[in-house]
Amino acid sequence: MPRYDPHPDRRPALVTGASSGIGAATARALSALGHPVVLTARRTDRLDALAAELVADGGEAVALPLDLADPASIDRCAAAAGDALGPLDVVVANAGQIASATALADDPDDFARNVHVNLLGTQRLAARLGPAMVERGHGDLVFVTSDVVVRPRTHMASYVAAKAGLEGLARAMQMELEGTGVRCGMVRPGPSSTEQGTDWSEETVLHIIPTWERWGHLRHNGALLPQNVAAAIVAMVSAPKGTHLTLVEVQPEAPVTPNRSHR
């Protein structure tokens, strides 16, 4: 079969977790560059609104429901995505879920569900969409991980375990895909201003923060905006042929202290 070489200005992309935060910002950034975007998440009302926004701005976008904890939902989404806007050339696996529980206190069923959302569901989606990219000899798979992989935090055991597994999966995939024309990269954000964790109670936050301070995780109160991380994702998939950005770590810059001098 002849190798598929898509036009650089039109690379159909699928983004998970596109209903808010980094996923929505990534969808907007890709659409602004002329790439059709398949928006996926559980909150379909938000997806529909974003798809309408992108189309109104002259882009191509469709919304598809996706629950990464449900294998049947993943399979349906993968089957529909391939026909929605043309052969997919970019897959951004961004969706994630954070639960505030320690390794020993977390209910095993809740732990398993979080690992499903953050790792197992992503692997299933990649397994459904990646082979067609390999067959065409072109494409980008991007996994949005987290700096908890290298700087684990307490009370986030399932998230830490799943994101560490996701980076292991990506590194194995990078070796397996070498020479196929399909690139696999990781974007590893630090603290970000998204909706993740916003459902935690004030009591939970006040309990956890001192442990993070004890381990040196709160050097400053800077946080990445979703578009900051989206810019790194776009840079990764836009790297020229012959270039493979395997890992990009993005950290928030500390707020500038007025009149501060370095001695």
Q: What is the pLDDT of residue 153?
A: 87
Q: What 3-state class would DSSP assign to 6?
A: coil
Whether the Cβ atoms of residue 147 and residue 189 lie closer than 8 Å to each other = yes
Q: Give the angle 57-60-65 at the CA atoms, nearest 5°.
A: 115
Q: What are the structure tokens assigned to 145, written together?
A: 């991980």
Whether the Cβ atoms of residue 21 and residue 99 lie closer than 8 Å to each other = no
Domains of the chain in start order, with CATH, are 13-250 (3.40.50.720)
From start to end of the chain, where are the E strands? Answer: 13-16, 37-41, 61-65, 90-93, 139-144, 182-189, 247-250
Q: Which residues have a catalytic role annotated?
A: 159
pLDDT mean by block of 10 residues, the chain; 263 residues: 52 96 96 97 95 97 96 97 93 89 89 94 98 97 96 90 97 98 96 62 70 68 88 96 96 77 54
With 0-12 / 13-18 / 19 or more C-beta atoms within 10 angstroms meaning exposed / middle / buried, residue 242 is: exposed
Q: How far apart are CA 117 and CA 111, in angstroms?
A: 10
Q: What is the pLDDT of residue 4?
A: 42
Q: Give the angle 251-249-221 at the CA atoms, nearest 5°.
A: 15
Residue 11 phi, psi (nearest 5): -120, 100
Q: What is the pLDDT of residue 254?
A: 79
The enclosing H or E element of 238 equals helix 226-238
Q: What are the structure tokens assigned to 41, written together?
A: 């998440």
Which pairing describes strands 139-144 and 182-189: parallel, antiparallel, or unpaired? parallel
* Contacts (Cβ under 8 Å, ≥6 apart) of 206: none
Q: How far apart are CA 186 and CA 244, in angstroms?
A: 11
Q: What is the pLDDT of residue 201?
A: 65
Q: Establish how many alpha carbons lie within 13 A of residue 250's alpha carbon, considering only the half-sphere containing its beta carbon.
A: 24
Whether the Cβ atoms of residue 114 and residue 95 lie closer than 8 Å to each other = no
Facing residues of 105 across strands? none
